[in-house]
């Protein structure tokens, strides 16, 4: 873990902390702990006047806007999502200045306005949290890196469906895309760079 700095215009980008996803069992960190740590980060970013972007995933009831390529892992049948599935968890919802982005695939940049939202606010760095580490968070980190954002990953403010999925992303992928650290390390760096 090697956090160096946070740019003047850094945004917190929260991936899929919504009722339908944060209610599932996750590993190695419980979803409720991921939500609590992300809420601490969001409060600090808001206090410093930095953007907080809450990304949620939703699809049309007929599944027409979901990715359809062949995969070896069987997908659940498409249909209407349960009521409230895409609602941001209560611990993060309801802050007037926060930005909400709806995505249709794993990564938060493809097919959304996220890049425009960040660039219009002068953002050059993103801190990522959310569920699942090896799916939505990793896809978003890859896209952010390719778009030339500096990427920081709060590794205890994310979790996965399996401990191996989380560990693989943290150990093998994230160091190639940015810098990793804990929630407390990001908060300390935020305080130190905002003096």
pLDDT digits (tens, 9 = 90+) for 123-137: 999 999 999 999 999
pLDDT digits (tens, 9 = 90+) for 11-62: 999 999 999 999 999 999 999 999 999 999 999 999 999 999 999 998 766 5
102: β partners? 56
Categorize the per-residue pLDDT at 64 as very low, low, confident or very high, splitting at 50, 70 and 90: low
Helix (H) or strand (E) holding 19: helix 19-22
130: β partners? 15, 158
pLDDT digits (tens, 9 = 90+) for 69-90: 776 777 665 666 778 889 999 9
Is there a contact between 131 and 26 (Cβ–Cβ < 8 Å)? yes
Is there a contact between 173 and 146 (Cβ–Cβ < 8 Å)? no
**Higher-confidence position of 2 and 146:** 146
Residue 143 has pLDDT above 60, yes or no: yes
For residues 55 and 74, give the distance between their C-alpha atoms in angstroms, rounded to a whole number: 25
Tell me what pLDDT residue 6 has.
Answer: 97
With a pLDDT cut of 70, the percent of the chain lying above it is 90
- The backbone torsions φ and ψ at residue 115, rounded to the nearest 5 degrees and listed phi first, read -60, -45
Domains of the chain listed by start with CATH number: 10-67+80-194 (3.40.50.850)
């Amino acid at each position: 873990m090697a956090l160096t700095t946070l740019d003047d215009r850094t945004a917190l980008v929260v991936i899929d902390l919504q009722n339908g996803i944060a209610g599932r069992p996750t590993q190695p960190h419980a979803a409720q702990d991921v939500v609590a740590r992300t809420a601490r980060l969001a409060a600090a970013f808001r206090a410093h006047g930095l953007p907080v972007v809450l990304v949620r995933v939703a699809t049309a009831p007929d599944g027409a806007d979901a990715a359809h390529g062949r995969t070896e892992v069987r997908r659940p049948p498409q249909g209407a999502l349960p009521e409230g599935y895409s609602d941001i968890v209560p611990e993060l919802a309801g802050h007037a200045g926060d930005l909400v982005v709806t995505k249709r695939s794993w990564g938060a940049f493809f097919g959304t306005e996220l890049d425009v939202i960040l660039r219009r606010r002068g953002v050059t760095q993103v801190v990522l949290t959310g569920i699942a580490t090896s799916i939505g968070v990793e896809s978003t980190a890859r896209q952010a890196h390719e778009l030339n954002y500096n990427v920081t990953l709060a590794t205890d403010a994310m979790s996965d469906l399996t401990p191996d999925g989380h560990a693989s992303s943290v150990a093998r992928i994230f160091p190639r895309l940015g810098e990793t650290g804990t929630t407390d390390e990001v908060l300390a760096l935020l305080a130190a760079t905002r003096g």
